[in-house]
Amino acid sequence: MKLFKTQTAEETIHLGKCLIENLPSSYHVILLDGDLSSGKTTFTKGIGKALGIKRVINSPTFTILKNYEGTKKLNHLDLYRMEGIGLDFDLEEYILDEAAIVVIEWPNRVKELLPKTYVLVTFKWIDETTRHITIQTSDGNDDWIKDL
């Protein structure tokens, strides 16, 4: 586990980009946990940048899921408005898609669908621009995080 401090949106984007550039192939699901406006979608923009995605990445709050194509596919889920585990939406198919990087905002809404291995990124809003961001893995194999 490692704690990062970002003081601008650009720094948060850069951290998301660095995460993907160093992400071991054993991980494809990234959980983003934090309050509203804490930087989750901004971080996801950095993930998209690392994947070569040219489209604008924004929060799929009302659509629940957005797919992007780059050097690798990105499935971006925002489950803020979801109640229940989302079986009606076939979310499990998107979450378990190992051909994609899967980013899930508000992952506590689908705990039952999460794989055993994932990266958890926790955001804490400090002030208008400052965030504390903690990155850890579900299996404790996180030496690679120190290189971010």
For 38-80, the pLDDT digits (tens) are: 999 999 999 999 999 999 998 876 778 999 999 999 999 998 8
Output the CA–CA distances (angstroms, integers) from residue 18 to 25, 48, 50, 64, 125, in the order listed: 14, 11, 8, 25, 20
Asked whether the predicted pLDDT for residue 87 surpasses 70, the reply is: no
Beta strands in 9-118 (DSSP E): 29-34, 65-68, 73-78, 100-105
User: Can you give the pLDDT at residue 120?
Assistant: 98
pLDDT tens-digit series, residues 124-137? 999 999 999 999 99
Domain 2-147 adopts which CATH fold?
Rossmann fold (3.40.50)
CB atoms within 10 A of CB 22: 13
User: Can you give the pLDDT at residue 80?
Assistant: 84
d(CA 40, CA 65): 15
d(CA 14, CA 2): 16
Kindly indicate the confidence band of residue 143, based on its pLDDT and cuts at 50, 70 and 90.
Answer: very high
